[in-house]
A and B are shown apart, each in its own frame.
Chain A
């Protein structure tokens, strides 16, 4: 069976995304270490996207074994009503998932963030959004090493604070 058929035979779960985020984070890091900052940023950005996305689902009480797909359209619909100016960019926008996380955190029984942490979170995601978007793959790679380090630092912060994002 071809790779695509093998992988698509089973619906992806939230746990799959959590594990994929970890995998892409380390692969991105390896790329940066190997002198490939553009590829490193691309993979690391995906890790950040999956961390934010799964944090949104887990704030809603989702289990790790829950399928991801039935949650995507409702997420888009919520965004289109609650913050219509932020496009989801095919479900890849870091800013979209950041807004949705903040939106649902206000409405769910989770531990409230202190304002300093909230501001830090927002600042970091906005900065990450200014350096990673899914369609960057179509652009020539003009990434600099300091930019790659910056992205790695921001994604590492999200990874280190992941439990706090959804608890």
Chain B
């Protein structure tokens, strides 16, 4: 019998959002959601990712963050992944409240 590492399977919703987000990173749409805001600090070289998306609504901040990291890791090099220090998912309402310009 093979011995394998045990891991939790992501929910179908998380899986779907990860796929959509990864697709967006590979081939960004001209309009609509998700809106990916990416900032790389000049001095720190760290990358901050903010994804504005109405589909986040029912998910916790940690779940959103995990999906963003999974999609980013799927579409970027390990070096780029290591530079990410913020992964924040916001609904449009939350982004408005935080005065984040995303439109």
Residues of A within 8 A of B (CB): 11, 57, 60-61, 67, 69-75, 77-78, 81-82, 107-109
Contact = CB atoms under 8 A, between A and B. Distances in A.
Determine the main DSSP class of A at the interface with B. helix
B87 interface: yes
Most A C-beta atoms less than 10 A away, residue of B45, B65, B82, B86: B86
Given A61-B46, A81-B81, A69 B62 contact: yes
Contact of A11 (B43, B61, B69, B84): B61
What 9 pairs across the A-B complex have the smallest Cβ distances? A70-B88, A73-B65, A69-B61, A74-B84, A60-B85, A61-B44, A70-B86, A109-B43, A77-B69
Interface in B49-103: 61-62, 65-66, 68-69, 73, 78, 81-82, 84-88
Given A81-B81, A81-B82, A82-B82, A73 B44 contact: no
Given A78-B82, A81-B82, A107 B45 contact: yes
Nearest to A60: B85
Contacts of A11: 61
Contact of A74 (B43, B44, B61, B69): B69
B9 to A, nearest CB: 18
Contacts of A72: 62, 65
Nearest to B67: A73
29 contacts: A57-B85, A60-B46, A60-B85, A61-B41, A61-B43, A61-B46, A67-B61, A69-B61, A70-B65, A70-B88, A71-B85, A71-B86, A72-B65, A73-B62, A73-B65, A73-B66, A73-B68, A73-B87, A74-B69, A74-B84, A74-B86, A77-B69, A77-B81, A77-B84, A78-B81, A78-B85, A81-B81, A108-B43, A108-B45
